[in-house]
Structure 1
């Protein structure tokens, strides 16, 4: 019998296991609670390779983080270009003798910064205002089931009952 943290999930859709080879041992409203249950089982010495955390009713959530202008795109491009320039400069600096390696690194960072700004500006300008914002996308599930192979299901259920 599944252990629930929060309101019970009574409909038959949520009670169906992910696969015929697994049984639901607990259901949670958020991922951190499901992760905590698996961590508890791991700390208890349970064979966690027999577990899965299954998210149901998955949706994407896009958090808008700010306005994107061509100037901001150029600045972001500059930063990315500087990192690439540093990387290339370090690679080229390996083959440079004496103190010239410092000049190679500075030159590569400057070139990377300029090209990053150009690509950032042109890349955003090419969208012609169709995406004038920045965002971060994540996946979210309505609830999470911790499922287990049948041969270890009763042991996992017993251990989770002791967790409370």
Structure 2
């Protein structure tokens, strides 16, 4: 029971990046090459980066198009109902024709009414999908070298070793991995008092200076 629950929990991808592609089909082809060479593909993961929601407009909506789409939907529903009724009726073909006709009529009417209620706010048809700008192929570290060599033999460009996925590095003044310089700490009273600007100003001409104190 506990093992089944662990497998359903989403976990971040692990492994080294062995190849990177601009399209999913190229990443799929790379995994197919590994599978065809009897590689342990269960150690491979395809990760899509920079996800975007894309909505592609496929056409313009109008009353004739809405009516036709509603009629086609009603035909399929009427055909299903007609086949059910024809099992218990001697004149099965006539029953199917009547059900198909009624389904087309009601589907057309329902589609036109639904489109009229939109008020022309969405007069187009579209398809939405989530796409990535890059697809990385990851593999477990112990098998990454073998996977790269197999892909290179197939003529597929690979990524160098040591480029893990999702490994962030902290940057400080001393370079990557160096801690940032700490800010001023301590008691404010222990800090040196700044010299006022008038004490640093040189004496003016003709101005009498006080005699220095006698030792």
Give TM class, smaller chain.
0.7 to 0.9
Query: Which of 79, 101, 119 does residue 86 from structure 1 map onto?
Result: 79
| Residue 150 (structure 2) aligns with | 159
Mapped to 1, the partners of 2:44 and 2:148 lie a distance apart of 12
- 1:125 to 1:140, Cα distance in 2 relative to 1, 3 A: same
| Residue 50 (structure 2) aligns with | 57
Q: What is the CA-CA distance between 1:20 and the residue it aligns to?
A: 5.6
Mapped to 2, the partners of 1:56 and 1:142 lie a distance apart of 6
Q: What is the CA-CA distance between 1:92 and the residue it aligns to?
A: 3.0
- 1:108 to 1:30, Cα distance in 2 relative to 1, 3 A: same
Query: Which of 27, 30, 35 does residue 28 from structure 2 map onto?
Result: 35
| Residue 19 (structure 1) aligns with | 12
Structure 1 unaligned segments of length 5 or more: list them.
Answer: 1-17
- 1:91 to 1:151, Cα distance in 2 relative to 1, 3 A: farther
Question: For the aligned residues, what is the CA RMSD?
Answer: 1.8
SS at match of 1:131: coil
| Residue 67 (structure 2) aligns with | 74
- The structure whose Rg is larger is 2
- 1:159 to 1:91, Cα distance in 2 relative to 1, 3 A: farther
Q: What is the CA-CA distance between 1:132 and the residue it aligns to?
A: 0.5
- 1:81 to 1:161, Cα distance in 2 relative to 1, 3 A: same
- 1:102 to 1:142, Cα distance in 2 relative to 1, 3 A: same
Query: Which of 113, 119, 142 does residue 110 from structure 2 map onto?
Result: 119
Q: What is the number of residues matched between the two proteins?
A: 145
SS at match of 1:147: strand
Mapped to 2, the partners of 1:46 and 1:129 lie a distance apart of 55
* TM-score, structure 2 as length reference: 0.62
SS at match of 2:38: coil
| Residue 88 (structure 2) aligns with | 96
| Residue 11 (structure 1) aligns with | none
